Amino acid sequence: MIRNRGGNQEEAQDIFQDAILVFYQKVLENELKADSCNIGGFIMSVSQRMWYTKASRKEMMNRHHQNLRADEKVSTNYEFIFSEERQDLMKKILGMMGENCRKIIEYVIYDDLSMREIAQKMQYTSEDVVKATHYRCRQKLAKQLKENKSFIKSTLNLDE
């Protein structure tokens, strides 16, 4: 059922094991009598609910990540950061942000670390947490850049 609905073998096995645990827990708590219920039907029903929940979360995360990628192209042009004469200015602006945001932005831009590597390095619970934090930090960075246009122009002698 799971493989027919877009899942893979590993996901199917995980869901099956989780459904067996639910069944076992229900029997232990006397909420289900093993001798009076259709065990296969119960496990199938639990598995279906678990898969639909997981698949809908997976779909929401995919949409969220697509939106992040689209926003990334629009919200912050990192090319500005890579020119040597502007790196000091960027470090000053990053210094105005919180420590975690500064570190995440620097890890992404200067160290080219993946979200997984950043999650491990900064001891976040998952790379999804880092992705969401990175998104908020980029928004903050874009806001800092907009708010400090006059400072940037005077520092770099830029014309609009």
Two tokens, residue 62: 């995919």
What tens digit of pLDDT does each residue of 42-72 get?
888 888 888 888 877 777 777 766 766 655 5
CA distance 125 to 136: 17
Residues whose CB falls within 8 Å of the CB of residue 155, separated by 6 or more in sequence, listed in order: 89
Nearest to 44 by CA among 52, 33, 56, 36: 52
Task: Say what the pLDDT of residue 126 is.
Answer: 87
Per-residue pLDDT for 79 more than 70?
no
Look at the pTM and tell me if it is higher than 0.85. no
What tens digit of pLDDT does each residue of 85-99 get?
566 677 777 778 888
List of domains in the chain: 3-60 (no CATH), 76-156 (1.10.10)
